[in-house]
Structure 1
């Protein structure tokens, strides 16, 4: 059966009038109903909305494929709508959608219908084909373009392999894709993986768990001989057969959007061992601990860190650029005030840095509990920021939110099915935000703030003690939480000492604050095997961030591997702080990094030497302690 036997001129809208996701769904349902394809438009909409609540069908690249299989459909059909201006459809890439294909599958649709419907989704992976659909001026041109593309697809399609042959590299990769409806995303993910594998020269066999049942099923021998298996699915997959094998588990949308990343991890041997129904198995919430609790924690951390990196890098460099106009150029009350510098400081400091801990927490929670974890994680992380709990408070908020949401899911698992439609949009966010917010407000932020006050008082009492020991303590404190309460306690103490006319402590503080990003930048340069590609890229920006006394540049590294990175940067920063005091350095300026080193009392060269030694100590410790990423 051809696609154009399901898509007709009377189900095509070349100029959609809708301006929102809900409106375009209603408009296309109205088109199908007017063409006589539906028994029950209301029932069909309920099925469409239920599918959207599982994950958006806005697949990106300007395309959305809302779909449902339900008895509300009279005749299997496809409706096509086009919006030249585009509209927000909650797409995976965050971009407006222009092309909409609404797939209506009847509950008793035969295999031929299902195969035809799924074939459409694979055609839309082609960028040139999408461009033709956007430029077509008549309904007839749309139908002709689809006919020609389908013939090309069928004509050039080789018979699917029944085994996964061994490549010269010796790697054998298998995959399974599946989505709840089993019509569109299942086959799009399969095609994306196969196309990317072909491009990379990797042999792959993909099993599809579609609406018409399992196709191209993996055999026990293939599984036994496989080097890695990718499971990109949002529906139940038979997993016990993979016990003891390296398995990457992710959502079906990652199969569509990130096939290169998945294949690269599989080929590099980065897939965790699947342990069946025991430790490491995938729970009903979709969380996999990747071979144990510790590795699961690491996966969640990395998800948060990778999404936080753009905020740290972009925001930090904008702050650094603002310093070129003068250290106080962002202060309206200062004679050097420059409105452009103030704008850069606002964008980078108040907003980018203001959001980064919340983003860290939100994506950690989302990694643990999927999309319902994002809102409570973000809110908990933002509370950590505004409550002076810093990135450590954000880490706590992220994990707290993720596991609270899992608890809420289990608590509400046995609710009557009538509540299924509102659980994710009402019950999950309401209960989880309340619980996380209350715990952050009363249990987590309060004690950290009290500890902050204690530290400030303790440091004030040490002002007349051993000057080198004070430098070691202050320098080390700058690296403990990098912008959190301990860091701020030290920084506040340094400002108070400047106001009192004692410039020595703040010299140790700035040296200690510059070392973490500089030391990690050196480590990424000289110990490349210990860092991912993203971390090495972030390391380059840390040369600038460290030079401008922006300690937060080290946060992504510390969050990803706190057990090794934090001790390394604390020791390096403590070394720099102690040496700064040993060299009798004094700093009258509160901030500025390399810009204010000429103002150092004592020897600026000796002060620079203290910073360099501290950074080298950090780099060597990180290089010694940190494990290669391939392990």
Structure 2
């Protein structure tokens, strides 16, 4: 195993995030369906079933997150200690951040155990995968999580309480800032950290205005540039105009990276404009109290949003601002 793989924090973290998302999406859809059925008949059996099943699905998300971070670091020996670390983060209240820390710790604990047992006689190597690695890995990961939960649980609780307790102005400002950060590096580390903050607010199956603002903020750059290539054709070359057609789909599906190639050419003009456009959308989401319990999907999950119409207004406003500003400030192309 190469050392580069072991210490690539961002790549290892994203390995866990990519496995986490399907659980959050599936669970979020189920919980959102429970609200939908409840709107027709209060406390109906089918609504309760969707709600309970959705929460059960989401309860697997933190163990899966930590397990696959540990797996990215230590291969199969990291799975069991990682899963245990994530489960204890869920049970101990340290939540998403606790599972992140626990996943990395479990991976390196597994590496240490592998190193130690590699020096033992070959006659005992057959017991490693089925006995020594999972048992010792789980033991030390569980012990480590005692400290993690003691330290991180109060911070997690305070953060979630703070976000949930914001007044309308606070919600607007928070949505504005978070959405603008989604456009700061268009899929880079700042974008991903902001996205993880949004996930942390829905990890228990709750509806989140912040998650909706973050989603809107991530959709604006590709949608704004797509509209700009349609209206201001003299500002883009033929390749960029053709790429703009693809950005309609990428933007609607919440794939921020679609706008990245445009930013590389004129970053000092492009980035500030898309950040302000995203901020406008995020602020409007906060103003209209639009919320969602699903972290991805873009326009496909519109039906599961509370006050979905606010999301539409936010998208149109941010997209128009971005497109018009790009048309105003970008230099004309000579082909």
SS of 2:118's partner is: coil
Q: Is the 8 A contact 1:468 1:578 kept in 2?
A: no
- Number of the residue aligned with 1:316: 28
Q: For each residue in 1:129-179, what CA deviation from the matched residue of structure 2 results, as whole angstroms up to 9, or x when unmatched?
A: xxxxxxxxxxxxxxxxxxxxxxxxxxxxxxxxxxxxxxxxxxxxxxxxxxx
SS of 1:481's partner is: helix
Uncovered stretches (5+) of structure 1, i.e. residues with no partner: 1-285, 330-334, 493-508, 529-535, 544-552, 555-568, 599-603, 619-631
Q: Is the 8 A contact 1:377 1:402 kept in 2?
A: yes
CA RMSD of aligned residues (A): 4.8
1:609 and 2:313 are equivalent in the alignment: yes
Q: For each residue in 1:365-408, what CA deviation from the matched residue of structure 2 results, as whole angstroms up to 9, or x when unmatched?
A: 11211111101111112222333333333222222111110011
- Number of the residue aligned with 2:122: 417
Q: For each residue in 1:69-93, what CA deviation from the matched residue of structure 2 results, as whole angstroms up to 9, or x when unmatched?
A: xxxxxxxxxxxxxxxxxxxxxxxxx
Equivalent residues, number: 261
The structure with the greater share of residues assigned to helix is 2
The correspondence of residues 219-618 of structure 1 with structure 2, limited to 5 A, is: 286-287=1-2, 289=4, 293=7, 296-327=8-39, 336-347=42-53, 349-442=54-147, 444-455=148-159, 468-469=169-170, 471-473=172-174, 481-484=197-200, 487=201, 510-520=208-218, 578-579=283-284, 596-597=306-307, 609-610=313-314, 613=317
TM-score (norm 2): 0.58
Shift of 1:364: 1.9
TM-score (norm 1): 0.34
CA distance in 1, matches of 2:28, 2:250: 13
Specify which structure has the bigger relative contact order, considering alpha-carbon pairs within 8 angstroms and separated by 6 or more residues: 2
Q: Is the 8 A contact 1:409 1:428 kept in 2?
A: yes
Change (3 A) 1:613 1:411: farther
Q: For each residue in 1:418-449, what CA deviation from the matched residue of structure 2 results, as whole angstroms up to 9, or x when unmatched?
A: 3222222222222221221122222x222222
SS of 1:326's partner is: helix
Q: For each residue in 1:342-379, what CA deviation from the matched residue of structure 2 results, as whole angstroms up to 9, or x when unmatched?
A: 333333x2132221222122122112111111011111
Change (3 A) 1:615 1:449: farther
Uncovered stretches (5+) of structure 2, i.e. residues with no partner: 179-193, 227-246, 257-273, 295-301, 323-335
CA distance in 2, matches of 1:350, 1:520: 26
Shift of 1:481: 1.9
Q: Is the 8 A contact 1:471 1:578 kept in 2?
A: yes
Change (3 A) 1:615 1:315: farther
Q: Is the 8 A contact 2:19 2:64 kept in 1?
A: yes
Change (3 A) 1:591 1:363: closer
CA distance in 2, matches of 1:436, 1:616: 50
CA distance in 1, matches of 2:220, 2:135: 45
Change (3 A) 1:440 1:541: farther
CA distance in 1, matches of 2:22, 2:317: 29
Bigger Rg, which one: 1
Change (3 A) 1:615 1:423: farther
CA distance in 2, matches of 1:367, 1:338: 43
